[in-house]
């Protein structure tokens, strides 16, 4: 380590003595110290000029004993892979499933960056050729919509803020493509597999120009509207953006409906008696707590959501920790006392039957390393995504008429 640093020290001292305060890689002027005068010095980063989007293809990479490439496609439910950011794929699909391998925003267990491929493994029991549902009487892969796996949007594993911009750019590129079946729905829709919950922020940013303000239906044991000064301490801009503050930030940026957002399945601890809930209300949310389901029943829960949302556009964000740990152990921030997989599926089904206008969705916080040998969580995630797909196929949506 010392041998590695010595040349840097030598370089920095000679540069300072020869040319006064040195400028390396666009440094800020200001007090010089070792970090500022080394190659580790801070760049004046223009966050809007992040690298072009790179798509990772969903491949199972393997070689046989002779070293020959035996890689095969490992897409969600054996769907065809399409790079949904490429203009040449304009008009080739209607609904895309896209992965965000990102987990720089977590507060507890890390590892959700492996969620997209974990969910694909959980979905290998699904296939378009046998996709009929006994509950819906429909094969959502074979209806009017062409469904594809868009692969994953590569993002920096080293810098959360750059990564968020990379995710937003990738989602924008996908969102700009025209759908294949434009007579039914005039915009593509995307189901994102997380990734930690921070990713909902770049997604909402990317979708805003198409849909305007949207009502977020947020299935989660936590609120995720925390004031960044409360969660993360407001120490730096970097710490303020995380998987518990993104809905607060989305509200501040004017991305959310004013009053129609809801938390479903809430049961988290709060920092104090009033502040978090007052702040949550200010962000435009109401909520149905996890324990209320026993008193209300599924139908009343659905009714309450439909009454709240009305005919606003809906963005569905499902944190898998909304389920009880018995049904979804593989997540980062566990809260016992949650809903069952069947209850969640049935509520989603009810919202679909009510015709709520779903414009996009994510399923987040799946951390495969904590899953069990039966892949309980990964398989639950695949079933939830299948149910969301049923909803999108059942309710085609038209974009708002631009004034």
CA distance 170 to 167: 5
Q: Which is nearer to Mn ion, 94 or 240 (CB)?
A: 240
Q: Name the pairing type of β-strands 357-364 and 55-56.
A: unpaired
- Least distance to Mn ion from the beta carbon of 244, Å? 7
Q: Which is nearer to Mn ion, 75 or 341 (CB)?
A: 341
CB-count exposure of residue 366 (10 Å: 0-12, 13-18, 19+):
buried
Q: What is the total count of residues that contact Mn ion (CB under 5 A)?
A: 4
- Least distance to Mn ion from the beta carbon of 223, Å? 9
Q: Which of 190, 193, 188, 96 is nearest to 149 (CA)?
A: 96
User: Rule CB under 5 A: which of 149-208 touch Mn ion?
Assistant: 197
- Least distance to Mn ion from the beta carbon of 18, Å? 53
Q: Which is nearer to Mn ion, 220 or 387 (CB)?
A: 220
Q: Which is nearer to Mn ion, 82 or 331 (CB)?
A: 331
Q: Which is nearer to Mn ion, 41 or 195 (CB)?
A: 195
Q: Which of 356, 346, 343 is nearest to 394 (CA)?
A: 356
Question: At which residue do the structure tokens 């809007």 appear?
Answer: 48
Q: Which is nearer to Mn ion, 362 or 371 (CB)?
A: 362
- Least distance to Mn ion from the beta carbon of 124, Å? 26
Q: Which of 220, 324, 371, 387 binds Mn ion (CB under 5 A)?
A: 220
Q: Work out whether 335 is an interface residue with Mn ion (CB under 5 A).
A: no
CA 153 remoteness from chain centre: 11
- Least distance to Mn ion from the beta carbon of 240, Å? 16
> Does residue 283 come out as left (phi exceeding 0), alpha (psi in the -120 to 50 range) or beta?
alpha
Kindly compute the dihedral angle of the four CA atoms of residues 256, 354, 122, 111, in this order, to the nearest 10 degrees.
20
Residue 34 DSSP one-character state: T
Is residue 38 helix, strand or coil? Answer: coil
How many beta carbons lie within 10 A of that of residue 34, not counting itself?
Answer: 13
Tokens encoding 48: 């809007």
Tokens encoding 238: 């970097």
Q: Which is nearer to Mn ion, 93 or 219 (CB)?
A: 219
Q: Which of 94, 166, 224, 362 binds Mn ion (CB under 5 A)?
A: 224
- Least distance to Mn ion from the beta carbon of 222, Å? 5
- Least distance to Mn ion from the beta carbon of 332, Å? 9
| Residue pair 311/214 in contact by the 8 Å Cβ criterion | no
Q: Work out whether 319 is an interface residue with Mn ion (CB under 5 A).
A: yes
Non-local CB neighbours of 259 within 8 Å, separated by 6+ positions: 284, 286
- Least distance to Mn ion from the beta carbon of 228, Å? 15
Non-local CB neighbours of 254 within 8 Å, separated by 6+ positions: 213
Q: Which is nearer to Mn ion, 362 or 375 (CB)?
A: 362
Q: Binding residues for Mn ion, per CB under 5 A?
A: 197, 220, 224, 319
């Amino acid at each position: 380590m010392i041998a590695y640093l010595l040349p840097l020290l030598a370089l920095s001292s000679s540069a300072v003595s020869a040319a006064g305060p040195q400028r390396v890689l666009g440094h800020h002027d200001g007090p010089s110290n070792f970090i500022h005068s080394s190659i580790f010095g801070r760049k004046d980063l223009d966050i809007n000029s992040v690298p072009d989007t790179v798509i990772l293809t969903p491949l199972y990479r393997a070689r046989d004993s002779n070293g020959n490439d035996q890689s095969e496609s490992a897409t969600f439910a054996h769907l065809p892979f399409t790079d949904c950011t490429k203009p040449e794929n304009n008009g080739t699909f209607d609904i895309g499933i896209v992965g965000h391998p990102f987990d720089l925003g977590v507060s507890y267990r890390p590892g959700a960056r492996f969620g997209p491929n974990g969910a694909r493994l959980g979905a290998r029991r699904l296939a378009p050729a046998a996709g009929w549902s006994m509950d819906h009487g429909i094969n959502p892969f074979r209806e009017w919509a062409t469904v594809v796996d868009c692969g994953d949007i590569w993002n920096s594993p080293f810098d959360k803020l750059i990564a968020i911009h990379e995710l937003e750019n990738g989602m924008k590129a996908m969102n700009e493509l025209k759908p294949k079946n434009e007579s039914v729905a005039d915009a593509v829709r995307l189901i994102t597999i997380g990734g930690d919950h921070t990713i909902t922020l770049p997604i909402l940013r990317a979708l805003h120009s198409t849909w305007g303000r949207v009502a977020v239906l947020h299935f989660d044991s936590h609120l995720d509207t925390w004031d960044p000064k409360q969660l993360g301490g407001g120490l730096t801009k970097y710490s303020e953006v995380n998987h518990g503050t993104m809905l607060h930030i989305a509200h501040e940026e004017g991305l959310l409906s004013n009053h129609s957002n809801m938390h479903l399945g809430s049961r988290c601890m709060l920092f104090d008696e009033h502040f978090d809930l007052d702040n949550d209300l200010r962000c435009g949310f109401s909520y149905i707590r996890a324990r209320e389901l026993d008193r209300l029943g599924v139908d009343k829960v659905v009714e309450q959501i439909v009454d709240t949302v009305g005919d606003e556009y809906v963005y569905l964000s499902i944190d898998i920790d909304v389920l009880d740990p018995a049904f979804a152990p593989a997540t980062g921030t566990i809260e016992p006392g949650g809903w069952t997989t069947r209850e969640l599926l049935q509520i989603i089904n009810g919202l679909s039957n009510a015709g709520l206008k779903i414009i996009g969705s994510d399923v987040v916080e799946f951390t495969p390393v904590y899953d069990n040998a039966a892949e309980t969580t990964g398989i639950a995630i695949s079933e939830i995504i299948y149910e969301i797909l049923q909803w999108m196929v059942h309710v085609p949506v038209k974009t708002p008429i631009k004034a």
